Structure 1
Amino acid sequence: MRLGIATLIIAYVLSQFYRAFLAVMTPALKADLGATPEDLAQASGAWFLFFALMQIPVGWGLDNIGPRKVTAALLALGGGGGAAVFAMASSPDHILYAMMLIGIGCSPVLMASYYIFARIYPPAVFATLAGMVIGIGSLGNIAGALPMALAVEQFGWRACLWAMAVVTVLVAASIMLAVDNPPKLVAEDGAPKGSVLDLLKMPALWAIFPIMLVNYTAAAGLRGSWAGPYLRDVYGLDTAGIGWATMAIAVAMVIGSFAYGPLDRVFRTRKWVIFPGNMIAVALVFLLWAAPNAGVWQAASIMAAIGLFGASYPLIIAHARSFVPPHLIGRGVTLMNMFGIGGVGISQYASAGVFRMAQGPDVAVTAPYQAVFLFFAVPALICCLLYLLSEDRLG
């Protein structure tokens, strides 16, 4: 199983790469295809939306088919195929379709490892293991920053995407060979196995859904879409400069994922680690809105700090997982992931419209970006406050 987990983590490195690499390609895609910031935000949003829409069927597949076949098939066909479509793109619409396919391909990767953790490891270490996967997997986030920027400048973006298509198919093949499915479970009383509807009837989860919906929106939105155009338009950074800045965000997210993982065992609480961390992240988004032209180092530092304090995703999943019965673990973790990734997808799509509406001949260059930052901050604040209604649990 260790080799299987290792291959799933490698696959998650690819997933993190694919959700974040568009930001550093902003100048190249604009020059070659005429792609605008709105085009790339919508393409990034499509990745998250299709990823989220797949979570219900992925959850069913994990519980009924197992993580090995589900993950290998989707990653090869969606991930590898989508990267190939991207490499052949001749218009922004083709990028949109490619990102849809890649989102479908990446949809089972993280949840497959979480499913295995939930089935074969004690609940007390779930958050630590979940944070470890995200922390290591976030190397893909780093690879999609400066290394990708340098590769695009050296080899061109099409060659880079063809290489990623080949790598993705090879990783999918390794999953098929190395991952072992845990034994299936049935409900203890012999009743039908249940469904997502049983999970949606649980009030405890409804108190966690709001913060799951917004936890990742600002960090993912900045890292994957808006940091590149913002730093280019406001501060004049080129591809390499954007790569350095987005790599700082990515490194901060890696550190945050590792740091959050064991904090529930350190402080004997999940709720009171998640809530203050997310409130700090929200405050930093408001700061970015209030001072969008404070300086390139200040802006990059604020965005990195948002990535750091907003990295509580594995702890939120662990909080929700503590309420889910064992025979519904697959559907439980994927349901929460649907809210988390779906929130990013919706906000990315909507942020493109916000950006467009804030533009005008007489507005400052920072104004459209301020509108986007405020759009991220206000819902996040509201949902953090709603999370106060949740029940703390360590089980």
Structure 2
Amino acid sequence: MVKGLVWLIIAYSLSQFYRACLAVFAPVLKAEIGLEADQVSTALGIWFLIFAAMQIPVGWLLDHRSPRKTASIMLALGGGGGALLFAMAQGPWGIYAAMGLIGVGCSPVLMLSFYIFARSAPSNRFGTLAGLVVGLGSLGNLAATVPLSWSMSLIGWRVTCLVLAGATVLISLALSRFVQDPPAVDHSNAANQSSLRDLVTIWPLYPVLVMAAVAYAPAAGLRGSWAGGYLSDVYGLTSEGIGRVTLFMALSMIAGALAFGPMDRIIRSRKRIVLIGTSAALVCLVLLWTGAGSQSVWQISALLAGVGFFCSAYGQIMNHGRTLLPDHLTGRGVTLINLFSIGGAGVFQIVSAGVFSGAMQRSAESLVGYKTVFGLFIISLTVGSLIYLMSKEPDT
């Protein structure tokens, strides 16, 4: 069990790395293959959207097939193959295709952990275990900062991607070897024969899905792409400087996931925990927006770290939604919540790229475009929080 948990965390750290690495890759991709800031955002958006779309088949596979085999095979073929394709990319469409394939490979990894916890662990341990995987797995986010920039300096970005492809395959093999499947659900029982249609009739789940769709998007978008462009275009930072700033944000996201995970043992309302985190993240975003262009790099680092920390209540959003699900819908239920979380991040990457491009057409000053992106995240998080206020949760 311990070995399995370790490899679940390592596999999730790889997923975190892939969704965060473009911020550091951005300057060299722009210089060598002409990838602009909005195209970097689009590439990350494709990763999120493909990842999200895969949650429906992944949920079915978790409920009906071996979760361990599902995750290991998809990670090897999708993640390893996508990293190889990234290494050979000659233009934007090569990066798009690579990120889409990597999204397929990473799509079952976290849900494998959550499914095992939901089916095997005591209910009062789910938040802690989920926070542990998300928090320690976010070390992959950390690896996609200074360590990545060092690797690119030493061996080049293409060779770095080849090394990543090999590491991805090795990790998938370890998942297959050390992770154990939870007890299977008996689908021959009529009560356990259900479809996605049954899941979408659980009406109390809807405000949770809306919250999931907006809560992670600011941290994912800023950490994954916009922070790199903002610091490069407005402040003139290189990959090394961007790596240092995003390192602080990565550390804050790790700390946030670990802090929010067990918080339901202190605050007996998962809903309240999520709203507290979201409100604090909104304050940081508003300060980023109002002070854009006039703040020091250290101030920006602190505010990005605040967004990263307070947008890390994902485990408690999942925990809230999990309490609304029957056992036989656990796999599809947690993947549906994850679909909204990752899909929301993907949609906002695509939308923010369009918003940024539109702002740049009206004004030649890049700062205007980045302020518009900050404003988009503020509006979405505010609306989502108001809807989530209407959510209900079972007695704890």
The alpha-carbon distance between structure 1 residues 60 and 361, as it changes in their structure 2 partners (threshold 3 A), is: closer
Letter in 2 for 1:302: L
Q: CA deviation at 1:231?
A: 0.2
Distance in structure 1 (CA, Å) of the matches to 2:336 and 2:362: 43
Query: Map of 1:324-343 to 2, 5 A cutoff?
Result: 324-343=325-344
Letter in 2 for 1:365: S
Please show how residues 1-395 of structure 1 align to structure 2 within 5 Å: 1-186=1-186, 190-293=190-293, 294-360=295-361, 362-393=363-394
SS in 2 for 1:162: helix
1:394: Cα distance to partner?
Answer: 5.5
TM-score normalised by length of structure 1: 0.98
In structure 1, what is the Cα distance between the partners aligned to 2:188 and 2:220? 39
For 1:137-187, what per-residue CA distance to the aligned partner results, in whole angstroms no more than 9, with x for missing partners? 000000001110111122110010000000000111111111221121137
* Residue pair 2:24, 2:239 contacting (<8 A) in 1 also: yes
Deviates more, 1:145-154 or 1:55-64: 145-154
Distance 1:394 1:80 in 2: 43
Residues 104, 394 of structure 1: alpha-carbon distance in 2 compared, 3 angstrom cutoff = farther
Select between 371-380 and 73-82 the one with higher mean Cα deviation.
371-380
CA separation in 1, counterparts of 2:306 and 2:15?
22
Is the partner of 1:191 in helix, strand or coil? Answer: helix
Structure 1 contact 288–302 (Cα < 8 Å) conserved: yes
User: In 2 relative to 1, CA 192–133 (structure 1 residues): closer, same or farther, beyond 3 Å?
Assistant: closer
1:103-140 alpha-carbon deviations (Å, 9 max, x no partner) = 00000000001100011111111011000000110000
- Return the offset for 1:5: 2.3
Structure 2 contact 26–37 (Cα < 8 Å) conserved: yes
Residues 24-55 of structure 1 show CA distances to partners (whole Å, capped at 9, x for unaligned) of 11111111101101111010001100000000
Aligned length: 395
Residues 346-372 of structure 1: CA distance to partner in whole angstroms, max 9, x if unpaired?
000111111111114854331000011
The answer as to whether partners of 2:114 and 2:130 remain within 8 angstroms in 1 is yes
> Which SS does the other structure have where 1:180 is aligned?
coil
Structure 1 residue 283: Cα displacement: 2.3
Unaligned 5+ segments in structure 1 are none
The Cα RMSD (Å) is: 1.3
Per the TM alignment, residue 199 of structure 1 is displaced from its structure 2 partner at its CA by 1.5
1:191 CA drift (Å): 2.5
Query: How far does residue 305 in structure 1 lie from its aligned partner after superposition?
Result: 0.4
- Asked whether the equivalents of residues 131 and 260 of structure 2 are also in contact (C-alpha less than 8 Å), the reply is yes
Deviates more, 1:103-112 or 1:146-155: 146-155
- Give 3-state SS (helix, strand or coil) of 2:234's partner: helix
**Distance in 2, Cα, partners of 1:26 & 1:207:** 35
Structure 1 residues 37 and 326: alpha-carbon distance in aligned structure 2, compared to 1, 3 A threshold: same
The answer (yes or no) to whether the contact 1:322–1:394 under 8 Å persists in 2 is: no
Structure 2: 5+ residue stretches without partners: none
**Cα distance, 1:362–1:309 mapped onto 2, change above 3 Å:** closer
**Whole-Å separation in 2 of the counterparts to 1:270 and 1:211:** 12
Residues in 2 aligned to 1:2 and 1:199: alpha-carbon distance in whole angstroms: 32
How big is the shift at 1:192? 4.4
Cα 1:188–1:129 change in 2 (3 A) is farther
Q: List 4+ stretches of structure 1 deviating above 2 A.
A: 186-193, 360-365, 392-395
Task: Map Cα deviations across residues 276-304 of structure 1 (whole Å, 9 max, x no partner).
Answer: 21011122212211111122111121111
- Helix, strand or coil at the partner of 1:305: helix
Letter in 1 for 2:91: S
Q: Give the whole-Å Cα distance in 2 for the aligned partners of 1:95 and 1:2.
A: 36
The CA deviation at 1:92 is 1.3
How far apart are the structure 2 equivalents of 1:305 and 1:282?
A: 10
**Structure 2 CA distance, aligned partners of 1:187 and 1:90?**
48
Answer whether contact 1:196 1:335 (CA < 8 A) is retained. Answer: no
Secondary structure in 2 aligned to 1:208?
A: helix
Judge conservation of contact 2:323–2:393 (CA < 8 Å) in 1.
no
Counterpart contact for 1:289–1:374, Cα < 8 Å: yes
Give the counterpart letter for 1:346 in structure 2.
Answer: V
User: Equivalent residue of 1:183, what SS?
Assistant: coil
Q: How far does the alpha carbon of each residue in 1:81-115 deviate from its partner, in whole angstroms, 9 at most, with x for none?
A: 00000001111110000000000000000000110
Query: Structure 2: how far apart are the matches of 1:394 and 1:173?
Result: 41
Give the stretch that moved more between structures: 293-302 or 332-341.
293-302
Distance 2:93 2:264 in 1: 44
Deviates more, 1:181-190 or 1:17-26: 181-190
Distance 1:159 1:191 in 2: 52
Q: Distance in 2 between matches of 1:354 and 1:208?
A: 26
